[in-house]
Amino acid sequence: MRGKPAGAATLLTLTPAPPSPDRAAATQEERELVAAVLDRDRKAAARLVELHADTVYAYVRHRLAPRADLVDDVVQEVFLALWDNLAAFRGDSSMRAWVLGIARHKIEDFYRSQLRQPGALTEEDAGGQPEPPRDPSLDENLDSARLEEKTRRVLESLPQHYSLALLWRYWEGRSARDIAAHTGRSEKAVERLLARARAEFKRRWTDA
């Protein structure tokens, strides 16, 4: 059955916003827990994971939606980075804010690494073919209804470099210039990749 165009009144509720980091300084309990972990206290290490695993998982899942298949790997990278950098924790912010800061950087690293992969930007994206026409209404719908169920299904069905490019552009709010700077690609190549990703998204949305 042919679905309604993107932006129809049937769009469902969005998922909750990711947790906001707590800007307050670390508590004495947090400082003591970190000190115990650095002293190789296994129970303290398990307690640290227990306290922050759900928050990190929810944050990463939200930022990578709908790519649920990628969440576990990124969460693992977050905790590996946490252990590697725990000695640098100074307590200027809460442990939760510090851990979410690591998660934010790891998500940026993930987008960057994926769009640097060979084939993520092809010769077609770099030039040589007319750019598909830009549809302002699609831009608006991708931004306002990105986590609605149909949008999720369509994004999941796209080639990974298309879905990640759209997520980085619309979900993370990064410009083509930002993406180009982080991937070592030309801005024109990124613009063409986004244009083709939007065109494919629109085609699959219409046919869904």
CATH code for the domain in which residue 100 is found: 1.10.1740.10
Region 10-27: mean pLDDT is 48
Domain containing residue 85:
28-108
User: Cβ atoms within 10 A of the Cβ of 54, count?
Assistant: 10
Whether residue 15 lies inside any domain: the answer is no
Q: What are 80-124's pLDDT values in tens digits?
A: 999 998 888 888 888 888 998 899 888 888 887 777 765 555 544
Taking the model in full, what pTM does it have?
0.52
Instruction: Reply yes or no on whether the pLDDT at 21 is more than 70.
Output: no
CB 135 within 8 A of CB 202: yes
What is the structure's pLDDT at 43? 92
Whether residue 22 lies inside any domain: the answer is no
Q: Considering 52, 81, 108, which residue would you say is the last residue of a domain?
A: 108
Q: How many domains does the chain have?
A: 2
CATH value at residue 170:
1.10.10
Q: What are 155-195's pLDDT values in tens digits?
A: 778 888 888 888 888 777 788 888 888 888 888 888 888 88
What is the structure's pLDDT at 22? 52
